[in-house]
Structure 1
Amino acid sequence: MSLPLSSSPIRCLIVDDEPLAHQVLKQFIAQTPGLVLGGQCRHAMEAHDHLRQHPVDLLFLDIEMPLITGLHFLRTLPTPPQTILTTAYREYAYEGFELNVLDYLLKPFSYERFAKAVARYQPPAAALAPAEPEGHLLLKEQGSLLKVPHRDILYVEGCKDYVKVVTSAKTYLHHETMKGMVELLGAPFVRVHRSFIVAAAHLKLLQPEQVVLSTGEEIPVGQSYKADLLTFFKK
């Protein structure tokens, strides 16, 4: 059988009051790659205490047990593991599937039927890392502040106390030094000349005296910047 791809073993918990059921499930888990036995409990109260200290991924749960039935126990769990019901009673099937169980195994069941049930397991979706905020420049435009994303900038050209910020759509004049622009723009940009900073994403060709951008524009390369620029291209 093939399990869904998971970065770590699937931890299983057996909850059943029958010793024979434990023996069978323990054997089936042991012979299934990707499954590991995380615990064995004889009744729901024991399972409740186990889960508080040892979370599991997959629960093999009997229904008819002393004190609390498996279905009642499942309803009490705020975030239950993915669950496969194991029982000798057919009449609980509908109620079980209302609780979104993966499968309903009728005892006695074969390894093939066990494997089919386990194959329904789905690894939990990985938590998405929060996206890093997109870099941008704030430029003055007709008395207002304009937000220009870094991705739109092709290059920056120094003009004494000002710089020209060149995008594919427009050129902006901004009161800032080249040194200040290097600090503002950061890693996505590389200085190639005392008067030019280019967007790394738009660098296409490195030639002896210039770089060519993806737009076809040619930017001169200063002698003192060649070594760093060559290192950048090699990376």
Structure 2
Amino acid sequence: MRASTRIQKLRVLSLGLPVAAALALVACGGEPPPPAETPAPAVKEAPAPEPTPAPEATPTPAPTSTANAGPAPQPEQSVEGPPVLMTNEKELQAVFTTRPGAKLELGDDTGRALFRIREGSLPSAHIISFKIEPKGKSTGVPIGKIYRMLVQIENSSELPKVETQDKPFELTLPAGGKKDANLAIGEVTTDDKGREKIVWTVIAPEKIDDATGTAFFKIKAIGNYWLHVTAKPPTAPAK
């Protein structure tokens, strides 16, 4: 009996050794084995977004003529300097150019004729003569005196007709108190055979000044002219 009981105790002791060893490991501070690593779930990349088309630019409408642009600017008025003043009872002659302008006055207290060259009217230097010609040419009976005008180029015998480059030339002549005082312009030319002839043109005045008894005329050209006031009706608009 004692022998079998001893054998059973030995079996119990032998079976309890692994458990005791385990408990001894825990008591001695041993760490348990780490848990198995769990693989991270695979991340599926999202597809790249499709590019958004840029919005179409809206064309800016072109300005129309009805826009509030305001009134058109007025052209600048040229400012003239003081003109050269020349006076004589019978005849004046000098060289005139683009600037300054000039006023040529002929006559006496019984009646004065004024020829004005506006600044900028002449294209270049010219010799201009203005005189009273008692025995000059006329068309019909002249009112007042007969005047002679000549335009020459320096160092030349040429007598050109010169058109104004800017404002018209101006003539103020005694009108003899006539309400229908017009200006007779006799342009001296030559025909095909070289013979001299006069072509007459009559123009109306811009105004007649009753207070001074003078008529005011504007002409667009000067040249080899005979000039006088006439009662004949106009044959052409102002030159």
Q: What TM-score does the superposition give when structure 2 sets the normalisation length? A: 0.20
Higher relative contact order (CA 8 A, sep 6+): 2
Query: Is the radius of gyration larger for structure 1 or structure 2?
Result: 2
Higher helix share: 1
